[in-house]
Structure 1
């Protein structure tokens, strides 16, 4: 009898270990960023209220994105879901250039090794940023709320913002001229020519609010957020909200979770220095103009 009981305990432990090993899930996140008001933007004397409203509406749509997080017990990949290019629409014609907005391709993070890898493209060059996961100093709060069918708990932290991170811009001032507006009134040409990096002030620090669920006990979340006792279902940094809209656990079809490999390997610090240096060069080249005359280096491109 004791032998049978012992055998059952061993088998149960084996099946539990196997279940943990095979555990995998997918979370879909909807990201929305508040479109800034361009008070004092280049050529603002020539842009009508209707044109400015149209531009802000386009900006709002461009800043609405969908991301998919595939995860297992130790690693995850986070990637934007591609959408159809709006460039051909009559009222569209411009999009946000992710390489200048701190964007990337596949964001892989491994909470077991506390490392991450993300492939990025900046000014036509491919980079593979490999570095240690940031140590996030979360403060666990008592508040709870429900997201979907999951009970979530609140956590907060103060995050320092680096210059290359343009996800939380504050409207600034620029007095550049926009002759294109006078000549054509074409909103697309106006948007194409504006270098929005010179119209924004970047805050030094922001407060991040996270909501996580212990019902999915994994140390994962969107992008480089991690470190909570449960899957993070919502992130709010004051301007951008990333909210989970769907979760699928242990689907029949498994996803390969591995780090990207394309691009020149560099650290996060080295990559940030490259971005800052190039942006300063662009500003020095065009000190009196509201545009960066360098193809993919402009924030708004056709």
Structure 2
């Protein structure tokens, strides 16, 4: 009888501590996240060399590139968020161009405002010399959530996988400790903030390096307004027409600008 009473007391203490932990747990609902985008340029260039008929010329150009440039190109961006709204903005840096191997995917072309509650987004896209203002619904991504966990920028994150644009395999890591359905670029739709994204076959990653928990006022989340207005279908048709004679290079540019 004493043993049963003891077990009941222990159970009550355990439940009480769990309830206290839940009450005191802090969830970040406003703040600024800094991301690093890393592009494996060597892998990206190798793919192009394999696809090109004049492999010897490209191989020599690749050797020259390796002598002057590191394997990874690193770019930074921020994501401001509050409740259901986010604003993704590249950080302007004096980045040396890639010269002969100047891929659209190795730059940062977008400023993106997303309203998760309304399911809409506004993206200012720089496409070569033209700037477009893309207004449309947010991308629908059929995520498959897994049990794999990873800590990113101090937050416990769960892995989710998906396929977008018919052929791009995506690995994302999101945290429920930031209960905002957002992420870098156009990646969203998970029950928490995406702090890490990898496109293994595109040789690109975005990972959060810091999360600053602070108030973000509405004026800091204003959507971009500059650019030629288009929706996704219109922009797709424009890009397909512009890159139709570019071969593999054109297909890569098309994917990068529509990502």
Evaluate the alpha carbon distance shift between residue 93 and residue 45 of structure 1 in structure 2; reply closer, same or farther with a 3 A threshold. closer
* Aligned twin of 1:211: 173
> Structure 1, residues 120-175: CA drift from partner, whole Å, max 9, x if none?
233432211100012211112112121232111111112224xxxxxxxxxxxxxx
Picking from 80, 98, 103, the partner of 2:90 is 80
SS of aligned partner of 2:145: strand
Evaluate the alpha carbon distance shift between residue 241 and residue 262 of structure 1 in structure 2; reply closer, same or farther with a 3 A threshold. same
Q: Which has the higher contact order (CA 8 A, sep 6+)?
A: 1
- Partner Cα distance (1:252, 1:233) in 2: 18
Structural RMSD (CA): 3.3
* Aligned twin of 1:125: 130
- Partner Cα distance (2:216, 2:165) in 1: 40
Picking from 14, 39, 50, the partner of 1:39 is 50
Q: Measure how far apart 1:206 and its partner are.
A: 2.8
More helix as a share of residues = 2
Evaluate the alpha carbon distance shift between residue 106 and residue 142 of structure 1 in structure 2; reply closer, same or farther with a 3 A threshold. same
- Partner Cα distance (1:123, 1:47) in 2: 23
Q: Measure how far apart 1:94 and its partner are.
A: 6.2
* Correspondence list, 1:125-164, <5 A: 125-161=130-166
TM-score by length of 1: 0.62
Evaluate the alpha carbon distance shift between residue 97 and residue 155 of structure 1 in structure 2; reply closer, same or farther with a 3 A threshold. closer
TM-score by length of 2: 0.71
- Partner Cα distance (1:160, 1:66) in 2: 24
* Aligned twin of 1:242: 206
Task: Give 5+ residue unaligned stretches, structure 1.
Answer: 1-19, 162-204, 293-298
Instruction: Provide the aligned length of Structure 1 versus Structure 2.
Output: 217
* Aligned twin of 2:227: 263
Task: Give 5+ residue unaligned stretches, structure 2.
Answer: 1-26, 251-255
* Aligned twin of 1:105: 110
More strand as a share of residues = 2
Q: Measure how far apart 1:230 and its partner are.
A: 1.2
- Residues 103 and 120, structure 1, Cα contact 8 Å, conserved in 2: no
* Aligned twin of 2:188: 226
1:54 aligns with 2:64: yes
Q: Measure how far apart 1:101 and its partner are.
A: 7.2
